[in-house]
């Protein structure tokens, strides 16, 4: 694998991350010591500090879909005819983690089937002033994802693929004019959407292009797609492992470990950090009522406005005997309203969130990150809650449910998550550990087969 290592990191992001990396454990281990003076005789302060470090370390080394098995990917990779001269660039991944993850995985899949090299995929970033503007600037791969893990696993699974990393102002090879929109690989909706049909379509597009010289390095900008591959037409192992190539940036993910540790301390839950989905610990809710969701009309369907979402989350938490609700929301006003509502409920429930559970310095550093980066902490915490609730129009919510469902499948606990649509009104998905509220024809058609766990 050829990697061109060139630095392309925003200095402010790096600075924020450096601050985030060092400090939190000291604060947390101090707190942990206060609340958990266990260990009995002979326990020194150092041992206690160590157990809190252990908690975070064990939590971080645990993944919902595990272990990662690259050989299932490598086998598929052997079916590819490689053309290192052809370089794909993902032109316009955008949105939050749910969409960017989907865009990026689709892009990688199309590159693998074409045997192309790639430019390390970036994304468009959201405006901080207007969160409905998702095209404001550019973000690097590592602003969301774990770059080292990605390069390592790509080299294991797809050793023939070259990955180029470009500097921001690096003079790029001119791409062929126009974005190439790959032919769909949704063979479920149209059986003629085969790999061969896609490759012929690509070949035709390239040959139509007067600048195309097969012998020369050719850069092609790929138009983004979302859930445009029938993942269930692929070998089971491929579908299961492919999405694991993308992990969250480890510095941001580490904050999620600290959040869960502090949640365990504050609400006195005995959480085993090595358990991917701990039972009977806490409920995780994605309260998706922010201005952009409202603006897009997501909350008008009778199942998704603030009161409908919060009623449903409280009911589901109580059904599972969970009295602590970890809430992910990009709207602090709504978060506060939910807190008040839960506290005045009979029986009362405790609502908490990432900013409540981080020591002040770290909470301040997290605030320095962008809106979508902050949400990555929620994404990680919610993956690991006992029971999860989200809404169907959110790819963020649905992605958490689909990934957790893969774990049930791995454990042989197969509950048809879509059966609930026939039993209950206004629920799109429920597999016992995750429930997705609301109905949405487009997502219900695209996601069950198109989203990568």
Q: How far apart, in whole angstroms, are the C-alpha atoms of residue 11 and residue 264?
A: 34
Q: Which of 53, 267, 361, 408 binds ligand NAG (CB under 6 A)?
A: 267
Min separation Cβ 254 and ligand NAG, Å: 23
Q: Is residue 220 part of the contact set for ligand NAG (CB under 6 A)?
A: no
Q: Which is nearer to ligand NAG, 146 or 290 (CB)?
A: 290
Query: Whose Cβ is closer to ligand NAG: residue 250's or residue 426's?
Result: 426
- What is the nearest approach in angstroms of ligand NAG to the Cβ of residue 206? 13
Distance CA 142, CA 150 (A): 10
133 near ligand NAG, rule: CB under 6 A: no
Q: Is 61 a residue that touches ligand NAG (CB under 6 A)?
A: no
Return the residue of 4, 61, 213, 321 that touches ligand NAG, per CB under 6 A.
213
**Interaction residues for ligand NAG, span 231-250 (CB under 6 A):** none
- Count of CB atoms within 10 A of residue 177's CB? 9
Smallest gap from residue 32 Cβ to ligand NAG (A): 15
Residue from 170, 220, 165, 175 nearest 2 by CA? 165
- Quick check: helix, strand or coil at residue 244? helix
Binding segment for ligand NAG (CB under 6 A), chosen from 121-129, 328-336, 386-394, 402-410, is 328-336
SS (H, E, C) 162-215: CEECCCCCCCCCCECCCCECCCCECCCCCCCCCHHHHHHHHHHHHHHCCCCCCC
CB closer to ligand NAG out of 274 and 291 = 291
> What is the SS3 assignment for 33?
helix
Q: Which of 48, 91, 142, 290 binds ligand NAG (CB under 6 A)?
A: 290
Of the candidate spans 52-60, 96-104, 329-337, 394-402, the one that interacts with ligand NAG by CB under 6 A turns out to be 329-337
Residue with CB nearest ligand NAG? 291
By the rule CB under 6 A, 291 interacts with ligand NAG = yes
Tell me the two tokens of residue 327: 């809430």
Site for ligand NAG in 331-350 (CB under 6 A): 331, 333-334, 343, 348, 350
Stretch that binds ligand NAG, among 42-50, 208-216, 223-231, 361-369 (CB under 6 A): 208-216
178 binds ligand NAG (CB under 6 A): no
- The answer to whether residue 307 forms part of the interface with ligand NAG (CB under 6 A) is yes
Quote the least distance from Cβ 406 to ligand NAG, whole Å. Answer: 21
For the CB of residue 248, give the shortest distance to ligand NAG in the complex, in Å: 23
Residue 328: closest CA among 278, 380, 281: 380
* Cα–Cα dist 106/198, whole Å: 13
Distance of CA 160 to the CA centre of its chain: 26
Lookup result for tokens 């509502």: 341
The yes or no reply on residue 75 touching ligand NAG (CB under 6 A) is: yes
Residue 141, judged by CB atoms within 10 A of its CB (0-12, 13-18, 19+), counts as: buried
Place of tokens 């042989």: 412
Starting from the edge strand earliest in sequence, which strands make up the sheet with 86-90, in order? 163-164, 117-119, 86-90, 218-222
Question: How many positions of this chain bind ligand NAG (CB under 6 A)?
Answer: 21
Contact flag: residue 31 with ligand NAG (CB under 6 A): no
- Measured in degrees and rounded to the nearest 5, phi and psi for residue 52 equal -75, -35
How many Å apart are CA 180 and CA 212, to the nearest integer?
Answer: 13
DSSP string for residues in 96-157: SHHHHHHHHHHHHHHHHHHT-EEEPP-EEE--SS-TT-TTSEEE-GGGTB-HHHHHHHHHHH
Does residue 87 bind ligand NAG (CB under 6 A)?
no
If one asks whether residue 262 binds ligand NAG (CB under 6 A), the answer comes out as: no
Which region among 92-100, 184-192, 209-217, 313-321 touches ligand NAG (by CB under 6 A)?
209-217
Residues found near ligand NAG in the complex (CB under 6 A) = 71, 74-75, 78, 211, 213, 216, 266-267, 290-291, 302, 305, 307-308, 331, 333-334, 343, 348, 350
């Amino acid at each position: 694998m050829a990697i061109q290592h060139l630095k392309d990191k925003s200095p402010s992001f790096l600075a924020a991350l450096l601050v985030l990396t060092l400090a939190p454990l000291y604060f947390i281990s101090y707190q942990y010591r206060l609340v958990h003076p266990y260990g009995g005789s002979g326990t020194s302060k150092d041992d206690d500090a160590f157990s809190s470090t252990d908690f975070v370390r064990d939590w971080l080394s645990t993944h919902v879909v595990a272990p990662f098995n690259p050989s299932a990917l490598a086998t598929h990779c052997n079916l590819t005819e490689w053309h290192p001269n052809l370089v794909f660039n993902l032109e316009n991944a955008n949105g939050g983690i749910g969409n960017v993850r989907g865009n990026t995985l689709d892009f990688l899949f199309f590159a693998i089937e074409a045997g192309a090299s790639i430019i390390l995929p970036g994304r468009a970033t959201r405006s901080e002033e207007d969160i409905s503007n998702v095209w404001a600037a550019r973000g690097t791969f590592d602003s969301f994802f774990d770059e080292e893990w990605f390069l390592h696993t790509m080299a294991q699974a797809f050793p023939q693929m070259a990955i180029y990393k470009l500097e921001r102002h690096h003079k790029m090879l001119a791409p062929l004019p126009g974005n190439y929109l790959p032919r769909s690989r949704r063979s479920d909706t149209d059986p003629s959407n085969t790999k061969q049909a896609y490759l012929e379509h690509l070949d035709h597009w390239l040959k139509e292009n007067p600048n195309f010289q097969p012998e020369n390095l050719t850069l092609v900008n790929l138009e983004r797609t979302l859930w445009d591959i029938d993942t269930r037409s692929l070998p089971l192992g491929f579908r299961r492992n492919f999405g694991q190539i993308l992990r969250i940036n480890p510095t941001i993910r580490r904050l999620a470990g600290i959040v869960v540790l502090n949640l365990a301390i504050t609400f006195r839950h005995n959480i085993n950090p090595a358990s991917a989905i701990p039972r009977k610990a806490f409920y995780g809710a994605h309260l998706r009522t922010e201005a952009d969701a409202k603006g897009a009309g997501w909350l008008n369907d009778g199942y998704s406005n603030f009161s409908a979402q919060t009623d449903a989350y409280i009911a589901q938490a109580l059904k599972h005997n969970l009295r602590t609700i970890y809430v992910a929301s990009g709207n602090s006003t709504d978060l506060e309203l939910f807190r008040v509502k839960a506290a005045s409920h009979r029986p009362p429930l405790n609502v908490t969130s990432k900013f409540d559970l981080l020591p002040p310095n770290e909470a301040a550093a997290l605030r320095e990150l962008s809106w979508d980066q902050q949400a990555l902490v929620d994404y990680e915490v919610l993956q690991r809650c006992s029971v999860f609730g989200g809404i169907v129009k959110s790819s963020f919510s649905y992605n958490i449910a689909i990934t957790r469902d893969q774990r049930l499948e791995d454990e042989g606990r197969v509950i048809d998550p879509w059966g609930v649509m026939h039993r209950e009104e206004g629920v799109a998905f429920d597999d016992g550990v995750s429930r997705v509220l609301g109905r949405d024809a487009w997502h219900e058609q695209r996601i069950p087969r198109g989203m990568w766990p």
